[in-house]
Amino acid sequence: MSASASPVLPPLNGPLSLIPGLVDFHAEYNSTSPFFLFPFPDLSSDTLGSISFLEFAQATHRVAHSFRPGRKGEEDAVVAIIVNCDTLLYHALVAGLIRAGLVPFPMSSRNSVPAIASLMEHTSCHRIVSQPTFAPFTDAVRESLPSGFAMHVDDLPALTDVFPTLAPSFDPPRAVSGPYPPPACAASPSDVVLYLHSSGSTGFPKPIPHTHTTILHWCRMPIFVESRRKAIRWGCMALPPFHVMGLCSQLYAPLLSGQPTSLFPPRAIVSAPPVVPTPQNTIETARKTGCTAIESVPAFVEAWSQNEDDAKYLASLQALIFAGGPLSRANGEKLVDKGVRLLACYGATEFGLVTCVFDDGVEEPSPIGKTRADWEWMQLPRECMSLGASGRRDIRAADVDVRDTPALHREYAKWGAWLCHIRPLGTTSGQAWSLANCRGC
């Protein structure tokens, strides 16, 4: 299919897994369409580089062959990832390990040695993918593990071994690895696909298992459904790939919508470390790659609100979504006054991105009377809410229940670790509610 044609969209209610199922679907039906777009060869370039869906699928086969040749050895072994590499390579590593029948566990390298050791113990993880620069760190982790707890360190593959078309010299072309052997039997919906970890704000970070069922539930959450319906091209290049926000917007979203996501240029091809995100290089990369929406952290949104050219560009997008913390009301209103479609989003590693998006009445009437001026407020979909026998509101997301208001007339309620101001919007019956001025405690 041509890169300009509309992609063939994969089914979301069938037997296909997200990874490798949808990876292989796109490799067959949307092979030449871009999965990732980036300025190339560097940030200053106006020329775009790309990785197609087929090239990404081939990269996952190369990774799988590298880490588990011939599918030999233990199935479902957990593999920690502690690296500082280009986002392009990171996601190929995660997807390739899953293809190999392994369970990747992306970890933030900012975690302490005892925290990493704790995560490994709790998941029976005996293998780490890392880089030589982390050798003192991984050696310290090994020392922190109980006596007799085996730990093996694998080197991160080179970017050009995984994506040979990005090599400066590509003559003659390297042979494409053959297809990686499929599993002997189909995966169970309850099988763990990968682990992510919590923030560790109340102690050591905790491992959060994501099963096939969990991930398929996430694929039906509002941000994915609407992104697919609106053919959003996300610009989320500043988000870390080990974090739930980065994983969802950079890897999951393109697989669900068939639309590319934008990244910073891979710097490993010149033996340089990854691009350090700033508000300016993020918005410039978004401009160059033709993003139609950006998801970012509040600090970057605050910076963009101070620049007239940035605000003008942001007003041309379908949405600017922020998550991960509060945004100052003054700067939020400044952007909205300049025509920016600003939306708040809330989620967590445990249950995904649960709030509604594009629900501000711009394209179609909002069922709760929400407008652009209500950018601080977040609506929870009906599927996430039910009235319990005690009269309490339960917010249900996947397998997690979070308690909400004991009675709807109370103005303030403790919601998990959040203090939320609650009010109905518009003149509807009050069955749809939104959360405002939410701040993690």
Residue percentage of the chain with pLDDT more than 70: 84
Buried b (16+ CB within 10 A) or exposed e, 194-230: bbbbbebeeebbbbbbbbbebbbbbbebbbbbbbbeb
Identify the weakest region by mean pLDDT among 141-145, 182-186, 331-335, 381-385. Answer: 381-385
Dig out the tokens for 316 from the structure. 């041309």
pLDDT at 2 (0 to 100) = 47
Q: pLDDT band at 202, cuts 50/70/90?
A: confident
pLDDT band at 364 (very low <50, low <70, confident <90, very high): confident
Q: What is the mean pLDDT of residues 349-370?
A: 86
Give mean pLDDT, residues 236-250: 95
Q: 352 pLDDT band (50/70/90 cuts)?
A: confident
189 contacts 213 by C-beta, under 8 angstroms = yes
Interatomic CA distance for residues 63 and 65, integer angstroms: 5
Rounded CA-CA distance 289/310 in Å is 15
Q: What is the DSSP string of 189-224?
A: TTSEEEEEE---TTSS--EEEEEHHHHHHHTTSHHH
Residue 325 CA to chain centroid, in angstroms?
Answer: 16
Is residue 34 very low, low, confident or very high in pLDDT (cuts 50, 70, 90)?
very high
- The domain ranges of the chain are 18-210, 329-440
**DSSP letter string over 355-393?**
S--S-SSSSS--TT---GGGTT-EEPPGGGEEE-TTS-E
Domain 18-210 annotated CATH 3.40.50.2000:
no
- Report the C-alpha gap between 103 and 208 in whole angstroms: 12
Predicted pLDDT at 440: 32
pLDDT value at position 175?
Answer: 58
Across the range 363-371, mean pLDDT stands at 83
Output 221 or 93, whichever has higher pLDDT.
Answer: 93
Count Cβ atoms within 10 A of the Cβ of residue 146 and give its class: 0-12 exposed, 13-18 middle, 19 or more buried: exposed
**What pLDDT was estimated at residue 192?**
96
Confidence class of residue 385 from pLDDT cuts 50, 70 and 90?
Answer: low
Which whole number is the average pLDDT over 410-417?
Answer: 35
| The pLDDT of residue 201 | 73
- Mean pLDDT in residue range 67-94: 97
pLDDT beyond 50 at 432: no
The pTM (predicted TM-score) of the whole model is 0.89
pLDDT digits 0-9 by tens, 256-273: 999 999 999 999 999 999
**Mean pLDDT, rounded, of the chain:** 86
The alpha-carbon radius of gyration of the chain (Å, integer) is 22
- Band the pLDDT of 244: cuts 50, 70, 90: very high
- Structure confidence at residue 32 as a pLDDT band (50, 70, 90): very high
Does position 99 have pLDDT exceeding 70, yes or no? yes
Residue 131 has pLDDT above 80, yes or no: yes
Averaged pLDDT for residues 90-97: 98
Position 403 confidence tier, pLDDT thresholds 50, 70, 90 = very low
